């Protein structure tokens, strides 16, 4: 079976070069980009050893799927760098029983990682083309605990609230108030906050009417749009 697949792939790419061994590249990515930089939650590492990132990037750049960078996924948007996915996921402190909200489905990769670490994942994407492609990938991988909605994620998903953890995967000018409202008591919200050039990655914790904020890292994401995001600019 393996050799048939390999032969066929060599013919298809026409170069005679052996096809990339994505499983091996994925293991190397986890060791070199995540473990080596301090990601230590074994469940996060395990999820990222399992989810095929190559299935979430466009065909023409698939050989770059496990490189240490964000990659374009169409519509001017990106799939986040693997390290950043790991940092954000680790900061959600998931143990397995949670209901998680993601704002910014993009390719669906982070949602697929979350699906292995939590009970239910609700993810919102404002761009219909990306949302539909993500749904197709998630269904193909059999991830039935991910629910995708097309719309403005800064408003959250009130019908499914409260959420034990919320992750925003686009750069926000501030914390969208509906997301804090929809966070469960003791819940974690992970969100990049800053200007268009650089943001701090915040882990926000809710304690009654109070919140505590910790800066986890520095990052650069595409802008969050919608009611509590940045206004649309020409051509974006």
Of 3, 10, 40, 80, the catalytic one is: 80
In the chain, which ranges are E strands? Answer: 71-74, 77-79, 99-103, 120-125, 146-150, 163-168, 183-194, 199-207, 210-219
57-96 burial: b if 16+ Cβ within 10 Å, else e:
beeeebeebbeeebbebeeebbbbbbbbbbbbbbbbbbee
Asked if 82 is part of the footprint of ligand SAH (rule: CB under 6 A), the reply reads no
Using the rule CB under 6 A, is 100 a contact of ligand SAH?
A: no
Choices 8-16, 93-101, 177-185, 221-229 (CB under 6 A): range interacting with ligand SAH: 221-229
- Which of these segments, 19-27, 191-199, 207-215, 219-227, binds ligand SAH (CB under 6 A)? 219-227
Tell me the three state secondary structure of residue 235.
Answer: coil
Separation of alpha carbons 204 and 172, rounded Å: 14
Q: Residue 98 or 125: which CB sits closer to ligand SAH?
A: 125
Residue 3 annotated as catalytic: no
Q: Which is nearer to ligand SAH, 13 or 236 (CB)?
A: 236
CB 167 within 8 A of CB 103: yes
* Residue (82 or 187) nearer to ligand SAH, CB: 82
Q: Which stretch binds ligand SAH (CB under 6 A): 16-24, 39-47, 72-80, 158-166?
A: 72-80
Place of tokens 């469940």: 43
DSSP 8-class letter at 229: S
Q: Which of 80, 182, 199, 203 binds ligand SAH (CB under 6 A)?
A: 80
Summarize as ranges the residues that interact with ligand SAH (CB under 6 A). 77-80, 103-104, 106-107, 109-110, 124-127, 130, 152-154, 169-170, 222, 224-226, 229
What positions carry a catalytic annotation? 80
């Amino acid at each position: 079976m393996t050799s048939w697949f390999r032969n066929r792939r060599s013919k298809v790419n026409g170069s005679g070069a052996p096809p990339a061994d994505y499983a091996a590249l994925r293991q190397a990515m986890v060791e070199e980009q995540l473990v080596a930089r301090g990601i230590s939650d074994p469940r996060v590492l395990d999820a990222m050893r399992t989810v095929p990132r190559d299935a979430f990037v466009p065909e023409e750049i698939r050989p770059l799927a496990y490189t240490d960078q964000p990659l374009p996924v169409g519509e001017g948007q990106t799939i986040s760098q693997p390290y950043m996915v790991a940092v954000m996921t680790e900061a959600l402190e998931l143990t397995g029983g949670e209901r998680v909200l993601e704002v910014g489905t993009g390719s669906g990769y982070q949602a697929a990682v979350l699906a292995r670490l939590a009970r239910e994942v609700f993810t919102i994407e404002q761009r219909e083309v990306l949302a539909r492609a993500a749904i197709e990938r998630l269904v193909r991988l059999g991830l039935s605990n991910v629910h995708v909605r097309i719309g403005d994620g800064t408003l959250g998903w009130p019908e499914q609230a409260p959420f034990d953890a919320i992750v925003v995967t686009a750069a926000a000018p501030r914390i969208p108030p509906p997301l804090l409202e929809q966070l469960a008591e003791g819940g974690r919200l992970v969100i990049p906050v800053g200007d268009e050039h650089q943001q701090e990655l915040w882990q926000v914790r809710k304690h009654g009417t109070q919140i505590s904020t910790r800066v986890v890292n520095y990052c650069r994401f595409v802008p969050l749009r919608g009611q509590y995001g940045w206004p649309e600019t020409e051509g974006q």
